[in-house]
Amino acid sequence: MLRSFHFDLMLAFLFLVLMAVGVILIYSATTVPNLFTHKDPFFYIKREVLYIALSIIVMITAYFIPISFWKKYAYHLVILSIFLLIIVLFFYVELKGKSVRRWINLGFFRFQPSEFAKFTIVLFFAKYISRKEKYLNSWKGILTPLLVVGIYVFLILKEPHNGGAIFIALISILLMVSFSFDLKKIIPLFLLGATVLAFSVYNVEYARSRIMAFLNPFEHRTDISYQIVQALISFVKGGWTGEGLGAGSQKFKYLPEIQTDYIFALIGEEFGVLGCVLIILIFLIILYKGIKISINLEDRFSQVLGVGITYVITLQALLHFAVNLNIFPATGITLPFISYGGTSLMVMSLMAGILLRLSKEPKKIVLNKKIKYRRKYV
């Protein structure tokens, strides 16, 4: 076995850079606007710094946990995740005048089980593929994971959190396409599932209004498309180099939820196209390094786990970019490590710590062709 002595330093540096950028942007987005509403100007930033501190502890702890632990308890954590997704349905929270069931109030912060589900669905596929790889082309080998994904999606839709349900479905598709499943069997099933999911989402009034806002943003710019139009205005105002840190005006209640769902628009306004490109480049490097680390691992469970974690981090970033640029309907997707929020940051940090651990796990041994050639004639 070839085990690296050090973890991937560049990957760790990029995660910390994203966290630092998040602190700066949340300070910019909330401090001055809170003064005008007579709130504590440092309310959000104090909580974010606390979340960052806890998340770094989570990341370090995850790094020191052996991968064998996640392999042993993968199915246990999947069952725990499903249990939490059921429990949360009994806790109502008012959000924009509507009753939703997305959070469990733990006192010092609200835990969101659908965020934890993003990690456990990857754990499920890692354990399932590593144990059942010989049967992945059979109907039984395909229908079993689809049943588990269906349970996740159904429970998250009941919250309702359509964006979370779509995300779980997309991650599952990516993993099944990436690892040995029979495409001829899974594509028709996924098309059927996508049709059912689309119908379920479209049947919800607020989701239908978001689709209408996506298709005709300027026609509905004073009501359902307000956030989308304001986000696009942010990018236009920022130009190439931006208006400068703290100089943006969209955060003054022109663009609601700017510190969470639309923080990329704040980057566009205050740091311009160059700032946006830099953030996108960081996530592309994470994608490249995460995949490279994972596919070179010796253990199949570790390979799927690493690829899945990389997919979760980068796909969520991609969807956030797409929503802010009106390339995809609004889904309530945060930008990993940057947007305000405790559960998302901690779950992402947990996965980051595991990916760093994987970067020093045993690698495949590839013999040099010249060595093999010489041995042949010795």
C-alpha span between 155 and 120 (Å, rounded): 14
273-289 pLDDT, tens per residue?
999 999 999 999 999 99
User: Six-digit token pair at 106?
Assistant: 């733990």
**Res. 6: pLDDT tops 80:** no
Does residue 327 lie in a domain region? yes
Query: What is the DSSP secondary structure assignment for residue 47, as one 8-state letter?
Result: H
CA distances from 155 to 95, 351, 361 (A): 19, 23, 35
60-80 pLDDT, tens per residue?
999 999 999 999 999 999 999
**Strand locations in 32-186, DSSP E?**
93-95, 98-100, 104-105, 110-111
Select the highest-mean-pLDDT range: 186-195, 257-266, 364-373.
Answer: 257-266
What is the average per-residue pLDDT within 81-110? Answer: 79
Does residue 51 lie in a domain region? yes
Does residue 133 lie in a domain region? yes
Does residue 253 lie in a domain region? yes
Buried b (16+ CB within 10 A) or exposed e, 20-31: ebbbebbbbbbb
Count CB atoms within 10 A of the CB of residue 258: 30
What is the average per-residue pLDDT within 333-357? Answer: 95
Per the confidence metrics, is the pTM higher than 0.75?
yes
Does residue 257 lie in a domain region? yes
**Number of folded domains that form the chain:** 1
**Res. 191: pLDDT tops 90:** no
C-alpha span between 253 and 196 (Å, rounded): 37
User: Six-digit token pair at 365?
Assistant: 């041994």
**Domain range for 114:** 9-376
Does residue 2 lie in a domain region? no
120-171 pLDDT, tens per residue?
999 999 999 999 888 888 888 889 999 999 999 999 988 888 889 999 999 9
From the centroid of its chain, how far is CA 25? 19
Lowest mean pLDDT: which of 35-49, 73-87, 258-272, 342-356?
35-49
Does residue 1 lie in a domain region? no
User: Six-digit token pair at 262?
Assistant: 């639309």
**Res. 42: pLDDT tops 80:** yes
Does residue 3 lie in a domain region? no
